[in-house]
Amino acid sequence: MEFAAKFIKKRQSMASSRGVRREEIEREVDILQQIQHPNIVTLHDVYENRTDVVLILELVSGGELFDFLAQKESLSEEEATQFIKQILEGVNYLHARKIAHFDLKPENIMLLDKNVPLPRIKLIDFGLAHKIEAGVEFKNIFGTPEFVAPEIVNYEPLGLEADMWSIGVITYILLSGASPFLGETKQDTLRNISAINYEFDEEFFCHTSEPAKKFISQLLEKDKKKRLTIQDALNHPWIKVKLYFSKAQEPKKRERRQLKTKRLREYTIKSHSSMPPNNTYVNFERFAQVVEDIDQMESSFVSLAAAHDSLQEDIDAMVSIYNEKEAWYKEESEGVRHELSQIRYEFRKVEAFKRSLQDDMQVFSSSLGAVSSRYQERQNHFDALRTELSNELKWVQEVMGVSQSEDVWWCSSKTKCTLFHHQHLLSRAAARINMSAVS
């Protein structure tokens, strides 16, 4: 199965005017994802790289409708209505879902396959499409000037009616090979649209049926309320009634067809030379290369994802180790904190004991000073007593020396009494010395 690719260049910055804003790309993708109809191109997938968004679309290989018809030798109204009806059916599907295309023009009306008796129409390019919401006013100036409705030119609220106007212009060109509002410049074209300045020139419409012209005029109505709706268009007599020609009319009919296709061919050549090419569909080989690049990128992403998973596992392991270490540290920190608390408590106890001991030492020092003073006093007193005793002993020794002589035995009683008195004094001195030694 083959596909086509539409490359949409992304706008790289808000200040840039090149490329398409992301919200516009997302709107187109969102609308394409909502629709599935035989006359509307199908979106299969979406890819994105750094510079582009790539829409993978159904391959529509039959080219543009107008190019196909211009190559034909002849064209009848019956054939035209078959193609217009397909356009209407595609638009009916959109309008039933309140989606306005806003860019219906020959370049966006393609053929799925031109090598069949009645090729199938495919509407493409939903870059300007919007979903019309009730109660929400929508205004914009966009589209291709030749096909835009007066409400776009005049910057008035827009709705589904703008597509019906574009269908009227497309039908006019299809049947005549001329554009109803095309001027020398873009400004001339817009002025013609705003003034509804068009006519069914006899040169171009001399062989066109009245129902066909009425169909066109009812679509090219400035008043949106009077303009045909999609249902009105599908039920219009020109669309529903088939035209038949007798064999007698065949030569004349063929001549008319040749004239129509010749003018249509001239129009398509002129429009292609004056308008940028439709780059919606590109060569499938280019898309294949893009798919290959995308596959390589996906492989790189898979490798990157695997590396990311491996790295994530390493990170998880490191986090686990860190958590364990942190828990151990907290536990150790609590133990150290408790030990420090105990040490501080013991230290405070030692400090208190030290202060108490210092106080006791000061008291002891004071007491020791008092004792030392008393000791010195006793020592002095003892020295005095010792001196006195020594003198008394010397005197006693002297007395005793005298008493040892024979003459002493005959001493008077007065002398004996004196001797006894000195002995008593010596006893008292010895007792005092002993008391002083004890103190």
| Contact by Cβ (8 Å): 134, 153 | no
Helix 161-176 and helix 250-274, axial crossing angle in degrees, nearest 10:
120
Residue 41 to residue 49: CA distance in whole angstroms: 23
Q: Which of 52, 67, 103, 163 is catalytic?
A: 103
Distance CA 212, CA 276 (A): 30
Spatial separation of the C-alpha atoms in residues 406 and 114, rounded to whole Å? 188
Instruction: Tell me 277's DSSP state.
Output: -
Which phi-psi region, left, alpha or beta, contains residue 260 (left: φ > 0; alpha: ψ -120 to 50)? Answer: alpha
Structure-token match 């020592």, residue found: 379
Residue 15: φ, ψ to 5°: -80, -20
The H or E element that residue 301 is part of is: helix 284-403
Length of the chain (residues): 439
Q: How far is CA 87 from CA 149, 292, 324, in A?
A: 18, 36, 71
DSSP letter for 71, please.
T
Q: What is the C-alpha separation between 292 and 289, in angstroms, rounded? A: 5
- Looking up tokens 């107008």, which residue turns up? 66
Name the phi and psi angles at 20, rounded to 5. Answer: -110, 135
Question: Is 188 marked active-site?
Answer: no
User: Which residues are CB-neighbours of 18 under 8 A, at least 6 positions away?
Assistant: 9, 11, 12
Q: Closest Cα partner for 153 from 188, 118, 101, 204?
A: 188
d(CA 266, CA 260): 10
Please tell me the distance from the alpha carbon of residue 277 to that of residue 411, in angstroms, as a whole number. 178
Q: What is the largest CA-CA distance in the chain?
A: 218
- Rounded distance, CA 161 to CA 155, Å? 14
Q: What is the per-residue DSSP string for 122-153?
A: EE---TT-EE--TT-------S-GGG--HHHH
Active site (catalytic) residues: 103
